[in-house]
Amino acid sequence: MFRLLLILLFLTGCCVHPKAQVNTPVIGSDATAQDPALQDQATQPVAQGFKVLIVGDALAGGMGAGLDRMAAAGNVTVRVVNRFNESSGLARPEIFDWVSAVGTIVPGKDFTTAIVLIGSNDRRDIRTASDTLAFNSPEWVAQYKARVDALLDALKAENLNVIWMGAPPMGEAAYDADMQTITAIQKQEVLAKGAQFVDLRTPLLGPDGAYTDRGPDETGADRKLRQNDGYTFLKVGNNRLGQIALAALEGSPILAPAPVDGSGTPVAAQPPADDGPVFGQSDANGMEVAQNGNELKAAVDANQLAAVAAASSSIGVAAKPGSSADKLFTIGLADKAPAGRFDDATVK
């Protein structure tokens, strides 16, 4: 009899214990909606949300990645869609035509803002249907202005707030002078169109006003921000660019307030739809990056081959057979720079 009582008490305890947990929210279930404290949190104002399109070249891509990290670190609701094309510019739309691309990327995607950083590939002659215009000639300047205007008009036609960033200082003196020329043209047109212009040159110069690869990082600590080529930014440097972009974004006049329901109560923002890359696929950091449309399948195939090669490597890293990296690291043969890029020796 005593053993029977013990068994009954044990079974009764097992049945009662779960009921003590009834009011505990279950993560990922509807139970969280029953918690008054969580209901109160849901009625609090939510952060202002932005969906930002990054337009430009390789520098823009790095800046966009930095912006994504800085927004996350600051708990700012920003969705960064990084559509940079590293070889692109405005001088040679036959390489990549941003004006046409905007009409493909933007419609129906609920972007609020476009951040433009472009020009590092534009110190080159402009080819028209009938002529070749020498860099920085009066004819070249007039044509370049028209192309800046065309991109601004395309973005504004999609009702986007435009934040245009000028070129950062460059390590090589002649290149830096040309970038200042290009930036001056861009700034004139951007301001004339009523868009926002952000100076990247002043905050990245040294105390003596000269080029430096060092400077304050996003925390204010003095760090090396750029590689020794006088052009490329390190991750910490891209964070600094992203910090500058975020400050401009938060000061933007069209940042939408938190959405409200019919009674004026703020409602939780819905997760943005996955638009999918237009010109390519996500990189290792999850950023949506750009490739030309006809290169998409080749890029996917290349990634798969690289993964197979890495898996068979003793150190977990391997170059794709026949790739530029494979030629460089096996026989020491480096490919020529793409035509028109900043390190193209044929560029005037």
Reported as a single tens digit per residue, the pLDDT across 16-52 is 333 333 333 332 222 323 333 323 333 233 335 789 9
Taking residues 173-197, what's their average pLDDT? Answer: 97
Lowest mean pLDDT among 31-40, 153-162, 304-313: 31-40
Tell me, what's the pLDDT at 75? 86
Mean pLDDT of the chain: 75
Q: Which secondary structure element, helix H or strand E, spans residue 191, and what is its range?
A: helix 173-192
- Distances 110 to 51, 106, 338 between C-alpha atoms, Å: 7, 8, 34
pLDDT of 318:
55
Write down the pLDDT at residue 250: 87
Q: What is the pLDDT of residue 76?
A: 87
| CA 269 from centroid of its chain's CA atoms | 21
Mean pLDDT of 92-108: 93
Tens digit of each residue's pLDDT (9 = 90 or more) over 314-340: 444 455 566 666 555 555 566 677 676
CB-based burial, 143-152: b 16+ in 10 Å, e otherwise: bbbebbebbb
Band of the pLDDT at 242, cuts 50, 70, 90?
very high
Place 101 in a pLDDT band, splitting at 50, 70 and 90: very high
Name the least confident of 13-22, 219-228, 295-304, 331-340.
Answer: 13-22
Q: Of the ranges 78-87, 233-242, 252-261, 303-312, which is most confident?
A: 233-242
Model's pTM, two decimal places?
0.63
Q: Per-residue pLDDT for 164 more than 80? A: yes
What is the domain partition of the chain in residue ranges? 49-291, 300-348
Are 225 and 240 within 8 A, CB to CB?
yes
For domain 49-291, which CATH number applies: 3.30.70.1070, 3.40.640.10, 3.40.1390.20, 3.40.50.1110? 3.40.50.1110
* 3-class SS letters over 83-105: CCCCCCCCCCCCCCCHHHHHHHH
Other C-beta atoms closer than 10 Å to the C-beta of 250 total: 14
Whether the Cβ atoms of residue 215 and residue 225 lie closer than 8 Å to each other: yes
Angstrom CA distances, 57 to 25, 51, 247, 254, 345, stand at 47, 19, 21, 25, 19
Higher pLDDT: 146 or 20? It is: 146
